Copies of this chain bind each other. A is one copy, B any other.
Amino acid sequence: MIPRLYIDAGLEPGAAAPLSDAQAHYLKNVLRRAPGDALHLFNGRDGEFAAEIAELKKRGGVAAIGEKTRAQPPEPDLVLYFAPVKRGPLETIIQKATELGVAALRPVITERVVAPKLNLDRLRAIAVEAAEQSGRLSVPSVDEPIKLARLLEGWPAGRRLLFCDEAGDDETLEWGGEEGRAAPLLDGLKSEDSSAHDWAVLTGPEGGFTPAERRLIRAQNFGMAASLGPRILRADTAVIAALALWQAALGDWRRG
Contacts and interface: CB of A to CB of B under 8 A. Distances in A.
Contacts of A227: 253, 256
Contact of A186 (B136, B177, B248): B248
A181 B256 contact: yes
Given A99-B237, A237-B100, A240-B237, A230 B245 contact: no
A133 B99 CA distance: 26
B183 A256 contact: yes
Given A100-B237, A253-B227, A134 B186 contact: no
A247 B233 CA distance: 13
Interface residues of A, number: 42
A232 B181 CA distance: 35
A245 B189 CA distance: 13
Given A135-B232, A232-B133, A185 B256 contact: no
Interface string A217-245: 00000000001111111100100110011
A229 B252 contact: yes
Contacts of A244: 228, 240-241, 244-245
A92 interface: yes
B186 A241 contact: no
A44 interface: no
Contact of A248 (B178, B184, B231): B184
A117 interface: no
Interface string A87-118: 00000100110011100000000000000000
Contacts of A122: none
Contact of A241 (B136, B182, B240): B240
Contacts of A136: 231
A101 B249 CA distance: 21
A99 B248 contact: no
A184 B253 contact: yes
A99 B256 contact: no
A134 B184 contact: no
A225 to B, nearest CB: 11
17 contacts: A92-B92, A101-B229, A134-B231, A134-B232, A134-B233, A135-B232, A136-B231, A182-B256, A183-B256, A184-B248, A185-B253, A186-B248, A228-B244, A229-B248, A229-B251, A237-B240, A241-B244
